[in-house]
Structure 1
Amino acid sequence: MAIALTGCDRRPDKGPVIVSAIGGTPALVDAARGRPDTAQKLMVDSLAQGLVRFDAGGQIEQGLAERWIVIDGGLTYIFRLRDAEWQDGNHVTADQVVAILKRQIAPGSRNPLAPFLTAIGDIVVMTPQVIEVRLKRPRPDLLKLFAQPELALVRTNPPGGSGPFRIAVEGRSPLLRPAFDRDRADPDDLRTLAPETEVRLIGERASLAIARFAHRDSDLVAGGTFVDWPILAQASIAPANIQVDPAAGLFGLAFANRDGFLADPVNRAAVAQAIDRGAATAAVRPNWASTEQILPEALDSAAPPVVPVWAQVPLADRVAAAKAHVGLWPVRPMLRIALPTGPGATLLYGQIAASLIAIGAIATRVAATADADLRLIDRVAPYDSARWYFANACAPCGAAALTAILAARDAPTLEERSRRLADADLALAQDVAFIPIAHPLRWSLVATRLRQFQPNPRAWHPLNRLRADTSYPQ
């Protein structure tokens, strides 16, 4: 799809910030239930906040908690709540905060972060302004989890959050206005808020979002992935407006089926080593780096990331060896590859299918949620722990690898956890449960008026941290 438009950034620095989020209609959904799209997550993050939040650079800043301390060797987090109000004007209480947090992490919760919060033993009210989170095992990364939109504190009855925005004008493209914060603002601020402090949030598909930005009718396109990059590549957007996040996370194929040909890890390894990762990523974006390892670096593991033994073998030799191995199978393997829709996924599929055909397999593309043999995993890591990578790469994995991952989760000390994570990395590599291809590709289109925008490893850009020269609540 060609978009013959100019992306010169000559838009005036006045009026509300117009944001196109790739996704559906913005709504205050419960982000703890399922996997909301970018438009929904931005809406939740704007109308509700957790105990802490991410700033423009992906670092932790205050949310509902004005300060916190960590004691007992990392086993206790104490948060003092600030004086805040829900959307209906009622005060936020410690009892309400504790009740919401307990619901979010309860057994059986659909919250995608719940599996990474099992170290929480209890959450209790200490005083009307203080809550305590008690851990069974130390977790130095807990604050990064609490900053995720999936742990934003959203009331269900009546529905609403505590800011940093309120809905000023309802509709499919709501207008958001900074909420008055008695702890952080002077009452006169209510009379001096300029239109530039407001945000108009639009949810739409990538092609419309790119066209809107190119016409200079928006200031930010958020939520771009590899799926839509080829559309952007055909648009005349100024390079200065294209921001690619150094996103940390997983991008690769999980072996969703372990029957027949794929029951044997040797056969799964033949598939993994045959894929031309460089060609697959270059087909989507020429300078998109590929990888052969699950971990980007050691993180909290005691050992460097495990690299497959075949990674040092030239690709042509790897393909030849895999073809010989597949040729021993009595019938030609047919592999179903589950991918999302979109031009980037089509280009990726073409390269993966070519690699599989080259070794004698048959490739067929199926929908992202359909039954499949290989399923694309494309997720940004919410925090920097090897356990998150292993748990998401194990989709599924064998008993030995799963046991190693659970042992790392339940390790009583950070030192033992580090050793167990190294064991899990090796076990997962031996199991060949996941085929790493690259790091997630996340991009935004950003007008120069958004002077506070910063690419960051979380690929998350709060709407109250876009313009450095406005009176958003700090």
Structure 2
Amino acid sequence: MTAPGSYRRPIIRMAAAASLMLSVSSCGLFGERGPVRIAAIGAINPAASPLNGELSATNAALLDATSQGLVSYDGGGQIDTGLADRWTVTTDGRSYIFRLREAKWSNGRKVTAQDVAAILRTYVAPASRHMLKSDFPEIETIRAMTDTVIEIRLSVPQPAILELLAQPSMAIVNKGMGWGPMRARRIGRAILLSPVPDPLAEDPEAAEAAANDPAASIELVGTSPAGALARFKNGYADGVIGGRFSTLPYFAASNIGRSRLVVDPAPGLFGLSFVRAEGFLATDTNRDALARAIRRERLIEAFGLTEWQPQVTLRPAVHTPDGGPTPLMPAWAAYDDASRQTQARRVVDAWRAAGREIEPIRIAVPDSPGGRILFAYVAADFAAIGVPSRRVNMASTADLRLIDEVAPNDDALWALRRLSCRRDTLCNREAEGLIDQAMRNIDVGQRGAQLGDAEVVLSRYTPFIPLATPLRWSVAAQRLTGLRANGRAQHPLNHVIAAPN
């Protein structure tokens, strides 16, 4: 029996071991008073903007450090101050009023509420490519009340809006300029982050000197998964951030101690979204058969991580502030894997008995060790019921495409919105109508009932094959007392040491 929380050797190692050559180092190369060195998985782009769509983990971490939103997350995944140092909510729950702290853009100009309101309006504008634009349907107006006070007015209460505003993609960036809490400058391949001096300090020179203390700085390097882990192994990094299921095999091959691995218990969506409903995929029954066929526990065990859990519901089990229903279990959840595959095989056999063929299903997953493991197990389960498949890259034309997203807040409607009538999902107009009604409803009971009705319709329609919870992992040396597991999978760089910078 494997102890809970331990790391089992994966069944499939793929090519990870061959690609990761790590040497042994008994101690770090840098003293405890030097900058904290973080190796992020992925390339750094200092010009990355929330307006350009989804941010990589590396660029999200950089933005969150240099251009926090109105609010932010602390090291434990709890709401903390950001550009706003305080806020109030009106009794009807429809107006959030934020008072901005004293801050300056990187060009020295004062940050005003007018600036911030204009930036936020751009993020949620109809033509915006912002990744969270669709998660703010309740916003009615965003306006500056004074130079230091901003109001976000909602059409209906949204108790989870602060969690959305704290996301790194809600960073307040003004034409590439940030305000803090840290400032960045490039040093070779790395970005050196240091605290922004207190703009209200009585002694500006002393504040500047304190901000330049190496012990308060962070050196951020973006690199490959193998490179990031090699840096940690050889003492060139105190931590690694940005790990996902796709890169977990690199950690398995690194021989870094399991006690250094930080796994976030983050709810969200991890599974295969149906991109088209043609041929065999045109019927609800056939799509449901594919969802039944996958042996989830077997797939998860291949990655060897006991914290990673299978998921069979369309939406994650998260706390619902409005008292909404628990996620709806599919009808087949009560059966074992063998029974599910037998049921699915009957559906496939009936389709073929009518003289209809099944074209190989194109499954888009990351071209990585983890992506190849995932495809191998899914393809084997599809083949077991008589359905052929082939792997394609994420950017290619596909029939099924992986969705791997952490829930940005605890709104029970988030997952249903995400799986309905998006660019990478199918569209059921009945479910979409019920979702729209629930979003506009201010009656808690009615909202919950409409949410439940929408979930029933979507579950019957089967636009998505849930597989597991999202997997997010980091690696932390003992020095990084603030980099700890949390349900938001958020690890702000200014909190990686327990005493915030």
- TM-score of the aligned structures, taking structure 1 as reference length: 0.95
Within the candidate set 239, 242, 264, 1:223 is matched to: 242
1:161 to 158, 170, 178: 178
The one of 327, 352, 355 aligned to 1:305: 327
Partner of 1:406: 436
Aligned residue runs from structure 1 range 182-221, under 5 A: 182-183=199-200, 187=204, 188-193=206-211, 194-221=213-240
1:360-399 matched pairs, under 5 angstroms: 360-394=386-420, 395-399=425-429
Tell me how far apart the structure 2 counterparts of residues 414 and 24 of structure 1 sit (CA, whole Å): 44
Kindly indicate whether the alpha-carbon contact (under 8 Å) linking 2:102 and 2:199 is maintained by their aligned counterparts in 1: yes
- State the AA in 2 paired with 1:90: R
Output aligned runs, 1:174-189, within 5 Å.
174-183=191-200, 187=204, 188-189=206-207
Report 1:282-293 matches (<5 A).
282-287=301-306, 288-293=308-313
For 2:218 and 2:337, the matched residues in 1 are separated by: 49
- For residue 451 of structure 1, report the CA deviation from its aligned partner: 1.2
Partner of 1:142: 161
Is 1:455 aligned to 2:475, yes or no? no
The answer on 1:96 being equivalent to 2:115 is: yes
Deviation (angstroms), 1:186: 6.8
- In 2, the alpha carbon distance for the partners of 1:265 and 1:185 equals 67
Question: Which amino acid is 1:190 matched to?
Answer: E
Sequence identity, in percent? 38
Deviations, residues 283-337 of structure 1 (Å, cap 9, x unaligned): 1234232121123326436322111111111211211121121012221342111
1:430 maps to which residue?
460
Match of 1:323 in 2: 345
What is the match of residue 55 of structure 2? 36
Deviation at 1:175, TM superposition (A): 1.0
Where 1:127 maps in the other structure, the secondary structure is coil
User: C-alpha distance in 1, partners of 2:95/2:26?
Assistant: 51
Provide, for residues 432-473 of structure 1, a one-character-per-residue CA deviation record: whole Å limited to 9, x for no partner. 111111001110011111112221111111110011346x1x
Q: Residue 11 of structure 2 corresponds to which residue in structure 1?
A: none
- Report what 1:358 is aligned to: 384
- Which residue number corresponds to residue 118 of structure 1? 137
Unaligned runs of 5+ in 2: 1-15
Residue 178 (structure 1) shift: 0.7
- Residues 197-221 of structure 1 show CA distances to partners (whole Å, capped at 9, x for unaligned) of 1111111111110111111110111
Over aligned residues, Cα RMSD in angstroms? 1.8
Taking the aligned partners of 2:497 and 2:392, their CA distance within structure 1 comes to 42
User: Which amino acid is 1:378 matched to?
Assistant: D
Q: TM-score, normalised by structure 2?
A: 0.90
Aligned match for 1:69, one of 88, 93, 96 = 88
Provide the rounded CA distance (Å) in 1 between the counterparts of 2:200 and 2:269.
Answer: 39
Q: Deviations over 1:216-248 (max 9, x none)?
A: 110111100000101110111112211111111
Cα distance in 2 for residues equivalent to 1:429 and 1:377: 17
Q: Secondary structure at the match of 1:328?
A: helix
1:281 correspondence with 2:300: yes
Say which is worse superposed, 387-396 or 73-82, in terms of deviation: 387-396
Distance 1:259-1:169 versus aligned 2 partners, 3 A rule: closer
Kindly tell me: are residues 324 and 145 of structure 1, through their superposed partners in 2, closer, same or farther at Cα, counting changes over 3 Å? same
Once residues 53 and 490 of structure 2 are traced to their aligned partners in structure 1, the CA distance between those partners, rounded to angstroms, is 18
CA 1:190–1:406: 2 relative to 1, 3 Å: same
* Inter-partner Cα distance in structure 2 for 1:186 and 1:446: 36
The aligned counterpart of 1:346 is 372
User: Kindly tell me: are residues 56 and 186 of structure 1, through their superposed partners in 2, closer, same or farther at Cα, counting changes over 3 Å?
Assistant: farther
Cα distance in 1 for residues equivalent to 2:99 and 2:202: 19
CA distance in 2, matches of 1:426, 1:183: 55
Distance 1:185 1:16 in 2: 26
Which stretch of the first structure deviates more once superposed, 404-413 or 119-128? 404-413
Using the TM superposition, give the Cα deviation of residue 8 of structure 1 relative to its aligned residue in structure 2, in angstroms.
5.8
**CA pair 57-405 structure 1, distance change in 2 beyond 3 A:** same
> Could you tell which deviates more after superposition, 268-277 or 163-172?
163-172
Tell me what 1:49 maps to: 68
Aligned residue pairs, count: 469
